[in-house]
Structure 1
Amino acid sequence: MIVLSLGISLAIILILVNKKVNMGYSMVVAATVLALLNGRSMGYIVAKFISTLNDSTTITLAFTISLITILAYLMDQYLILGRMVSALEIVLRSAKLTILLAPSIMGTLSVYGGALMSCPIVGRLGDRLSMTNDEKATINLIFRHTLYLIFPISPAMILASKIGGIDAWDLIRIQLPIGLFMYIFGYILFIRNYKDPEIKKLSNIEYIKSIFRFILYALPIIISLLGTIVFKVPFYISLIIGICYCIAVNMYDKRKDSRFKIDEHAIKTIYKGLKIPLVLTVIGILFYRNIVTDLSEIHMFLSGLLDRGMPLELMIFIASGVICISLASPQPGIAILFPLILPLAPTYEIRLMYAMFIFTTSFLFYYISPLHLCQILTLEYFQVRLKSLYRNYIFLIPLTFISMVIIYAIKIF
């Protein structure tokens, strides 16, 4: 019943979203149906919704997403973003290389919905390369998330190392070829065939000035990255500092050049950058996740599969799909499957192989989940339908999975 009810709830989300219903509302409806089909009362559902609203994670994430949209809007309105992208392109001497690297650099920031920060950059560069919106969305998601397989301080990698009793660098070592393959294949499929716009030659001094220009206009993003990763400041604090920096840059710019004058108060501009539908989406996703996490039937379902003698790899595949598509996160798949599967390994090397299979499979199911927040935000930003994105994944995702299976088979057999 648990698999059927999860399937029904996911179908409800897809149907409502395709009918242009806000993702947040769609997920609240789907979570309610899921809970009812598994015997939960309306009182339980209402209590779970209220606890979701009051949860510090919900409040912090909704606030953070709001600040991300405001920062992105200010960088765009104040022409900071355009100047940053132009400077980066000059430094790298290639629009193609820039559109490949920009999401990856921001992907080091492990925050829900962080892909939204690179959307404007990918959008500008994609326009220069004459890309379609679905290609821009695909590029933004691929090159932001590929590092997930090998990034040592990602939440999933830290979790895998802690509960799996394995060294994170050992896992990174065996997953590095998978990450490289996904990266290279993404480039071949979506970037290689485009021609770089011509960039004029520069003297050494002009080139150095371009580097400083890039740093100057990238500081709102650099502040966010350094504040969170290096100084361990809460992400929303770093974003507030970045927003203040944007306002200060605009105040300086408009004194020097009338092009940068905006006939409205900064507070009004900030308000325009606030995207309420995205906040509602965050609430819906967390409510759905909390309902699913509370369903003990999932754990019972997995235990039953092992007891019936199902092949280990097939069990991992099915269980990862059920868990990670539903929760739109790889962490639950790792947290549930590592304790079940890794103790079965006779050696440390086999343990690593099991860990790789679970980690990569959980990542790929999370990546394609219709509930994946980065994917939702990217689709909404570029106004692209989910089916267009899935059409672009038709080769990339299966081939990435096959590369993992080949590595697994070689090591195991």
Structure 2
Amino acid sequence: MLDILKITIIFIAILIFLRLKWNIGYVLLLASGLLAILYLMPIPTILSTIKSTVADPVTIKLFFALTLIKSLEMILREKQVLSKMMEASRNILKRKKAVIISMPMLIGLLPSLGGAYFSAPMVEESTKGLKMSQEEKGFINYWFRHPWEYILPLYPGILLASAITGIELRSLILVNLTYALLIFITGFLFSMRGVKGGFAKKVERRKRDLWSFLPVLLILLMVMAMHIELHYALGFTILLLFVFYRFSPKEAFRVIRHGFTPDVIVIVFGTMLFKFTMENSGAVAHLSQYFKDVGIPILPILFILPFLSGLLTGITVGFVSSTFPLLMSLAGGAHLNEITFAFASGFTGVLLSPVHLCFVLTREYFKADIAGIYRKTIPGCAIIMTGALIVYFIL
């Protein structure tokens, strides 16, 4: 019970400071310190956690990915590539709603750190001239990039779930398809209600503007087909653009320097430090053990454990690796209905997590009010969990 109180205090503190529009990086640094105090972490453990955060390959890759994304965005914006991409989307897709969601869904195919920051300027560009709040734009960018994580084998979460439970990946994907469709459907239910019709057609520019997609398609090809990590793919693409647009060394330095901002450093370090502090303090492990000791029925546990883990870490791999082995032992084995329900529960927690990187970056880009985004994500998640409960009993 004490662990629940501690985690509740930390979560409330995070929400309060985010509501006050503090930088999420500083909020997570503060939350990490509060976590260390509440769990009485020894000084050597704290120092080890900081060292692990700085040296972790994910931290380093995330930092370079986000900085290069900012640099790439600057090139695409200054050279009018983004506007040409939107023009091409208008000509090809025609319907306004299809154009708006196309970029988050396309970039969402990339299992990349910081991908939401890549699609955000494209959503901003595609909604120009429309009466739409920053919170609605943020919701669109955030929500429509996430159907893939339920079903795309490129994402490590579903692969790890299959590996841990021994359930065939194909079976897990087929059942999870329900939740992916619900994300797509609820996205239209809770956004773009006032968006109707299509964009004016400009056939004469269609073929020329299609070339504007090459930078994004090249990155997708390298990451998905050639299995090149995102930061390498971004770096290579930026180099090609430097050559294509004949950037001088001074101009290239200006673009690269644009990506290396203090905000990116703080966000990356704060996010990763909170993740490592959660693990090293024993917070997630203590919560899991508490529910096991109390003897709560299996269905509530299948929801509560993955949901809380996803909510607190904001990472799919985090809730799968920390709770699925325990859930299997409590349930007496791996059953498809239980595992798919647990996966839906955990990912709902991830979608609602204020420390989920996509949420953090989307909110940061659009300067959106956290409550405004939650007003759309919470009912969307409620519908997904209703579908998950129906699937649980059907199976």
TM-score (normalised: structure 1): 0.89
Query: Relative to structure 1, is the Cα distance of residues 384 and 331 closer, same or farther in structure 2, using a 3 angstrom cutoff?
Result: same
Counterpart of 1:384 in 2: which secondary structure? coil
Structure 2 distance, partners of 1:76, 1:33, is 40
Q: Give the aligned partner of residue 41 of structure 1.
A: 42
Q: Give the aligned partner of residue 250 of structure 1.
A: 245
- Counterparts of 1:326-405 in structure 2, within 5 Å, are 326-342=312-328, 351-405=335-389
Structure 1 distance, partners of 2:229, 2:199, is 41
Shift of 1:360: 0.7
Structure 2 distance, partners of 1:297, 1:116, is 30
Structure 1 distance, partners of 2:103, 2:22, is 31
- Counterparts of 1:121-132 in structure 2, within 5 Å, are 121-132=122-133
Counterpart of 2:127 in 1: which secondary structure? helix
Structure 1 distance, partners of 2:259, 2:53, is 25
Query: Relative to structure 1, is the Cα distance of residues 394 and 292 closer, same or farther in structure 2, using a 3 angstrom cutoff?
Result: closer
Q: Give the aligned partner of residue 32 of structure 2.
A: 31
Q: Give the aligned partner of residue 145 of structure 1.
A: 146
Whether 1:279 aligns to 2:274 is: no
Structure 2 distance, partners of 1:358, 1:148, is 14
Query: Relative to structure 1, is the Cα distance of residues 346 and 266 closer, same or farther in structure 2, using a 3 angstrom cutoff?
Result: closer
Structure 1 distance, partners of 2:221, 2:84, is 21
Aligned-partner residue type, residue 369 of structure 1 = S
State which of 205, 216, 224 in structure 2 corresponds to 1:221.
216
Give deviations 1:173-208, integer Å, cap 9, x for gaps: 112122112211211321254123442364xxx5xx
Shift of 1:294: 1.5
Is the CA contact (8 Å cut-off) linking 1:147 and 1:179 kept in structure 2? yes
Give deviations 1:216-239, integer Å, cap 9, x for gaps: 212221122111111112211110
Q: Give the aligned partner of residue 302 of structure 2.
A: 316
TM-score (normalised: structure 2): 0.93
Is the CA contact (8 Å cut-off) linking 1:74 and 1:273 kept in structure 2? no
Structure 2 distance, partners of 1:15, 1:189, is 25
Structure 2 distance, partners of 1:249, 1:133, is 34
Give deviations 1:1-24, integer Å, cap 9, x for gaps: 222222222222223333343222
Q: Give the aligned partner of residue 255 of structure 1.
A: none
Q: Give the aligned partner of residue 7 of structure 2.
A: 6
Structure 2 distance, partners of 1:93, 1:138, is 22
Q: RMSD of the alignment, in Å?
A: 2.2
State which of 227, 232, 239 in structure 2 corresponds to 1:237.
232
Aligned-partner residue type, residue 209 of structure 2 = R
Shift of 1:343: 5.1
Indicate the structure (1 or 2) with the bigger Cα radius of gyration: 1
Structure 1 distance, partners of 2:20, 2:190, is 30
Structure 2 distance, partners of 1:297, 1:195, is 47
Is the deviation greater in 8-17 or in 282-291? 8-17
Query: Relative to structure 1, is the Cα distance of residues 378 and 45 closer, same or farther in structure 2, using a 3 angstrom cutoff?
Result: same
Give deviations 1:320-375, integer Å, cap 9, x for gaps: 23211111112222123222223566787xx1111111111111101110001111
Counterpart of 1:196 in 2: which secondary structure? coil
Structure 2 distance, partners of 1:274, 1:218, is 25
Is the CA contact (8 Å cut-off) linking 2:352 and 2:378 kept in structure 1? no
Is the CA contact (8 Å cut-off) linking 1:278 and 1:377 kept in structure 2? no
Aligned-partner residue type, residue 368 of structure 2 = V
Structure 2 distance, partners of 1:313, 1:85, is 45
Query: Relative to structure 1, is the Cα distance of residues 275 and 91 closer, same or farther in structure 2, using a 3 angstrom cutoff?
Result: farther
Is the deviation greater in 180-189 or in 397-406? 180-189
Structure 1 residues not aligned, in runs of 5+: 253-261
Aligned-partner residue type, residue 328 of structure 1 = G
